[in-house]
């Protein structure tokens, strides 16, 4: 039998008292380390976080990669898209024709040199002629009217003739001068989108900080004090929450001039009410917990209890709410800017960029595409991160 194989020394008594029975085997993890570990497992959140970091880096470092500033304009080089169809005139001469049938001199790899000056132009006959390197280049756009009538989008609209021979598109290249193209005033769209990111992230930062401090303190004090004080404080919150944001901003515009500062004041004075409500609710439930009672019996002051015990324990939902509030703030700014209540020209925000693009939307869709893309990515990224944070910080999922 297997039992008989047990050697005699196995029957010796072991003194278990020498063994440390209180030893904790698992690795020590703080609340935040644990939450981070769980957040890391959420792929969507990590993608969101990646894009947020990328966007922040772009906003900070973006301008260093461009030789333009957000207000530099070159009216001659307006409305050039991020990709260009270029034509070869001879070995070293390439041109790009913009949507107004005007020629711009470019290099083969996509750098823009200058706008060419036509030697002859006839608006009635619908042609324009240039002299490039001794060759006569003629643009005949008289087909455009017929093409428009036919309703066929692929119909021929123009012809480029070099010394009488019709030439075809040489190549489609990326715009190396204006990466995202230029707007109608010939400003670099890339740098304007980057500045838009700065404004959006600044709004996000301000909204977060103002919310955090006012909302958390206000809600914390209301929740902890309770009783009549709480009642009065929360009624004030109710009143503030009833004022529609749009109306509020318009009223502020009367007092201050429209611009970033006004938007920040508007968001700062209105957005914290939700945070205050959330924090108050949290504090109300936490303050009945025994560790708070224990702190009271130790003689801890109210301030100490609030700052060391209540708020740190309410931090999880606060952070989730902040993460969710950022996209909402960014969106609100974009919306206000879009309807013309935002930052002033020549400063750009994603909202004003989108607004500027609307006029030429059918001809120059890229001008809307980039600001819209950036708004979407940023808002989505914050939402993904917020969702992940909610799961990671949920106390019910702990253990």
345 binds other proteins (CB under 8 A): no
Q: What is the largest CA-CA distance in the chain?
A: 115
22 binds other proteins (CB under 8 A): yes
255 binds other proteins (CB under 8 A): no
Build a one-symbol-per-residue string for 264-293: x at contacts with other proteins by CB under 8 A, - elsewhere.
-------------------------xxx-x
Which stretch, 1-9, 67-75, 165-173, 179-187, contacts other proteins (CB under 8 A)?
1-9
CB of 270 to other proteins, least distance (A): 28
297 binds other proteins (CB under 8 A): yes
CB of 212 to other proteins, least distance (A): 17
Residue closer to other proteins by CB (options 149, 399) is 399
8 A C-beta contact, residue 275 and residue 215: yes
- Taking CB under 8 A as the criterion, the residue among 13, 149, 362, 396 binding other proteins is 13
Sign of CA dihedral 163, 166, 172, 174: positive
228 binds other proteins (CB under 8 A): no
8 A C-beta contact, residue 318 and residue 279: yes
> Count of CB atoms within 10 A of residue 113's CB?
14
SS3 state at 160: strand
Which stretch, 157-165, 232-240, 303-311, 350-358, contacts other proteins (CB under 8 A)?
303-311
CA-CA distance, 229 to 152, in Å (whole number)? Answer: 71
11 binds other proteins (CB under 8 A): yes
- Taking CB under 8 A as the criterion, the residue among 18, 26, 149, 168 binding other proteins is 26
> Count of CB atoms within 10 A of residue 309's CB?
20
SS3 state at 14: coil
CB of 13 to other proteins, least distance (A): 6
Which stretch, 99-107, 148-156, 296-304, 322-330, contacts other proteins (CB under 8 A)?
296-304
> Count of CB atoms within 10 A of residue 258's CB?
19
51 CB-side CA count, 13 A: 19
8 A C-beta contact, residue 70 and residue 192: yes
Write out the binding residues for other proteins, residues 39-68 only, by CB under 8 A: 41
CA-CA distance, 103 to 131, in Å (whole number)? Answer: 11
Task: Of 155, 115, 152, 120, give the one whose Cα is nearest residue 137.
Answer: 120
Binding residues (CB under 8 A) for other proteins: these are: 3-4, 6, 9-14, 16, 19-22, 24-26, 28-31, 38, 41, 289-291, 293-301, 304, 308-309, 312-313, 315, 398-399
């Amino acid at each position: 039998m297997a039992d008989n194989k047990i050697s005699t020394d196995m029957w010796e008594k072991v003194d278990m008292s020498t063994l440390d029975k209180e030893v904790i085997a698992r690795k020590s993890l703080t609340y935040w380390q644990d939450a981070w570990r769980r957040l890391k497992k959420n792929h969507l959140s990590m993608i969101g976080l990646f894009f947020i970091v990328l966007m922040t880096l772009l906003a900070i470092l973006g301008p260093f990669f461009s030789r333009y500033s957000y207000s530099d304009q070159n009216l001659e080089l307006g409305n050039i898209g991020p990709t260009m169809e270029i034509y070869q005139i001879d070995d070293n001469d390439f041109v790009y024709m913009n949507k107004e049938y005007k020629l711009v001199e470019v290099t083969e790899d996509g750098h823009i040199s200058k706008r060419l000056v036509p030697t002859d132009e006839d608006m009635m006959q619908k042609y324009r002629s240039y002299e490039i390197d001794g060759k006569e280049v003629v643009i005949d756009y008289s087909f455009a009217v017929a093409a428009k009538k036919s309703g066929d989008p692929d119909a021929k609209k123009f012809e480029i003739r070099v010394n009488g021979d019709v030439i075809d598109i040489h190549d489609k290249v990326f715009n190396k001068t204006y990466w995202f193209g230029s707007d109608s005033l010939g400003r670099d769209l890339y740098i304007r989108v980057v500045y838009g990111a700065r404004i959006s992230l600044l709004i996000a930062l301000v909204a977060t900080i103002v919310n955090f401090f006012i909302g958390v303190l206000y809600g914390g004090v209301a929740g902890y004090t309770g009783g009549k004080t709480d009642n009065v404080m929360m009624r004030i919150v109710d009143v503030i929450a009833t004022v529609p944001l749009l109306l509020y901003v318009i009223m502020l515009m009367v007092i201050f001039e429209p611009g970033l500062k006004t938007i920040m004041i508007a968001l700062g004075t209105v957005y914290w009410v939700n945070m205050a409500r959330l924090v108050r609710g949290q504090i109300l439930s936490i303050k009945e917990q025994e560790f708070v009672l224990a702190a009271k019996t130790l003689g801890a002051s109210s301030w100490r209890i609030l700052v060391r015990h209540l708020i740190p324990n309410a931090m999880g939902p606060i952070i989730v709410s902040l993460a969710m509030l950022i996209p909402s703030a960014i969106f609100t700014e974009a919306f206000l800017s879009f309807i013309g209540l935002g930052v002033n020209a020549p400063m750009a925000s994603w909202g004003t960029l989108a607004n500027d693009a609307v006029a030429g939307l059918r001809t120059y869709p890229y001008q809307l595409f980039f600001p819209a893309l950036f708004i979407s990515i940023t808002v989505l990224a914050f939402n993904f991160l917020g969702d992940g944070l909610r799961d990671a910080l949920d106390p019910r999922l702990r253990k």
